[in-house]
Amino acid sequence: MNTKPTSRIIPYIPGDGIGPEIMEVARKVIDAAVLKAYRDPNLVEWKILKAGQIAFDETGEWLPASTLEAIRRYKVSIKGPLTTPIGGGMRSLNVSLRQMLDLYVCLRPVRWIDGLPSPHRSPQGINIIIFRENTEDLYTGIEYQVGTLEHTKWMDAYKQALPEDYARLPYPKQCGIGIKPISKPNSQRIVHAAVDWAVENKRKRVTLVHKGNIMKYTEGAFLEWGYKEVENNFTSTTFTRRQFQIMVNEIGLLAAEKQKSELLAGGKIWVDDVIADVVFEQLITKPQNFDVIATTNLNGDFLSDAAAALAGGVGISPGANINPQTGTALFEANHGSAENLTGLNKANPSSLILSGEMMLRFIGWTEAADLIRAGLTETIRKKKVTFDLAEQIEGASILGTKEFADQVISFIRN
Ligand code: NAD
């Protein structure tokens, strides 16, 4: 029998829209897997936390301090999607949670499961892990709306400080402004986390994705700081494209290629970079070439949805927000609250179920995590899926949210 882990309290935020429906069944799947793996029904004690509309209706706050405190205290939690309040003063609860808890790693694995629909002709072997920076970039939400006092102040100050640059602005009085901060410490720590993970998980390639050809001092700086971080901290485990370039200049292309092959055959991880738009092209033409990706916040947001489409779409794409230093981790479905499906027992709970699998792996409950993956894989292989997948799989039977989860549980039990 598997070694039984110590019991723990796991806080959860049901979320808005389809959140409560998919959270309820995801918890059942997790419970079934834990019970099967360790034969103890009391290992997980679920603790509900308030956030989003439910919290606002009950307490007048979208994100009560007690919720943040519990996430910090219990370290590992799981959440359903939260609707962004309109006109509530808070830009996005999800962004706020990540920033307030400094969960700087947004981890988004994209792995094709046998039987999943994919627009790619041969999706076998797609297994990409995206490390998206989670705390800065345009997501700081520093923006100035045309016609406001802040906008006028900003424009006046800019005109005075840098008149030549101001003169390059198109229609200064009719031009919204957003600030894109990309810092050295935050760039270094996300790249560090990605390479660290790649080393630990014996991956072969880490690609830094950026748009540094156009945004030189933000995206370009991310790339520069990222390479430096790798070259200063991972000398024995990586070989970078920049080091290769130096080698080419010193000993010539053929000799450098030979040395590179030997280094990579010896287990070193190849660290290179690809411009963001080219990554989108290559994700479609040769997704199997990607392994681990480290990127800035906005690029990561776009890329993770595009990559998810290769392996079943957002309904089956899990995620986690992690601070590797404090060990705080908040697992979540990547999609939103899908109000159009709320209360219909139609939503695909796979994204949250797989986030649960990630969560169990994170706390070392590997046997239970393996059971969830096996149960979900078998359900999909048998073509018993929710409507979003069924419409893309020939001969599939359509199951509701609850029935789909029950099917996964029955494969876990048997
Ligand atoms: P959405 O992800 O809710 O919906 C986009 C499309 O995907 C819709 O057609 C929806 O029906 C479908 N979809 C989403 N989840 C599905 C599932 N589990 N099964 C089947 N189909 C699914 O995106 P949106 O409409 O842009 O956002 C709705 C709200 O959610 C907004 O307030 C947004 O801010 C918020 N949001 C929250 C998160 C989060 O909590 N992490 C992420 C994205 C959006």
Q: How far is the CA of 413 from the centre of ligand 1 (A)?
A: 31
What pLDDT shows up at residue 375? 97
Asked whether residue 94 carries a pLDDT value surpassing 70, the answer given is yes
25 lines ligand 1 (CB under 6 A): no
Concerning whether 137 is annotated as a catalytic residue, the answer is: no
Other Cβ atoms within 10 Å of 204 Cβ, number = 12
What pLDDT shows up at residue 1? 62
How would you class 253 by CB atoms within 10 Å of its CB: exposed for 0-12, middle for 13-18, buried for 19 or more?
A: exposed
User: For the residues 151-176, what does the mean pLDDT come to?
Assistant: 96
Q: How far is the CA of 73 from the centre of ligand 1 (A)?
A: 28
Give me the half-sphere count of Cα atoms (radius 13 Å) on the Cβ side of residue 351: 31
What stretches of 181-317 show up as alpha helix (H) in DSSP?
184-200, 219-233, 241-251, 253-265, 276-285, 297-309
- pLDDT class for 206, splitting at 50, 70, 90? very high
Q: How far is the CA of 359 from the centre of ligand 1 (A)?
A: 21
Task: Write out pLDDT tens, residues 255-302.
Answer: 999 999 999 999 999 999 999 999 999 999 999 999 999 999 999 999
State the catalytic residue, choosing from 12, 301, 346, 384. 301
Asked whether residue 50 carries a pLDDT value surpassing 70, the answer given is yes
Atom of ligand 1 nearest to the CA of 387: 20
Give me the half-sphere count of Cα atoms (radius 13 Å) on the Cβ side of residue 263: 21
Percent residues over pLDDT 90 in the chain: 89
What pLDDT shows up at residue 190? 98
Q: How far is the CA of 336 from the centre of ligand 1 (A)?
A: 3
Atom of ligand 1 nearest to the CA of 84: 32
Please, which residues have CB within 8 angstroms of residue 349's CB and are 6 or more apart in sequence?
21, 22, 25, 26, 29, 386, 401, 404, 405
Q: How far is the CA of 83 from the centre of ligand 1 (A)?
A: 8
- pLDDT class for 89, splitting at 50, 70, 90? low
* Residue 93, token pair as written in the block: 């609860």
DSSP state of 165: H
Q: Between 90 and 243, name the one with better pLDDT.
A: 243
What pLDDT shows up at residue 314? 85
Q: Is the dihedral of CA 137, 138, 139, 145 positive or negative?
A: positive
Residue of 328, 309, 304 whose CA lies nearest to 78: 328
Asked whether residue 229 carries a pLDDT value surpassing 70, the answer given is yes
Q: Whose CA is nearest to atom 30 of ligand 1?
A: 336
Q: Whose CA is nearest to atom 5 of ligand 1?
A: 338
Concerning whether 211 is annotated as a catalytic residue, the answer is: yes
Atom of ligand 1 nearest to the CA of 348: 19
Task: Write out pLDDT tens, residues 330-351.
Answer: 999 989 999 999 999 999 999 9
User: For the residues 225-254, what does the mean pLDDT come to?
Assistant: 98
Task: Write out pLDDT tens, residues 307-318.
Answer: 999 998 888 999
23 lines ligand 1 (CB under 6 A): no
Q: Whose CA is nearest to atom 24 of ligand 1?
A: 336
Q: What pTM was estimated for this model as a whole?
A: 0.94
User: For the residues 81-110, what does the mean pLDDT come to?
Assistant: 86
Q: Between 115 and 295, name the one with better pLDDT.
A: 295
82 lines ligand 1 (CB under 6 A): yes
Atom of ligand 1 nearest to the CA of 92: 34
State the catalytic residue, choosing from 211, 260, 268, 346. 211
Atom of ligand 1 nearest to the CA of 81: 40
Q: How far is the CA of 344 from the centre of ligand 1 (A)?
A: 15
In a 3-state reduction of DSSP, which class is residue 117? coil
Task: Write out pLDDT tens, residues 351-387.
Answer: 999 999 999 999 999 999 999 999 999 999 999 999 9
- Beta-strand pair 127-133/292-295: parallel
User: For the residues 28-43, what does the mean pLDDT come to?
Assistant: 97
Query: What's the whole-number average pLDDT of the chain?
Result: 95
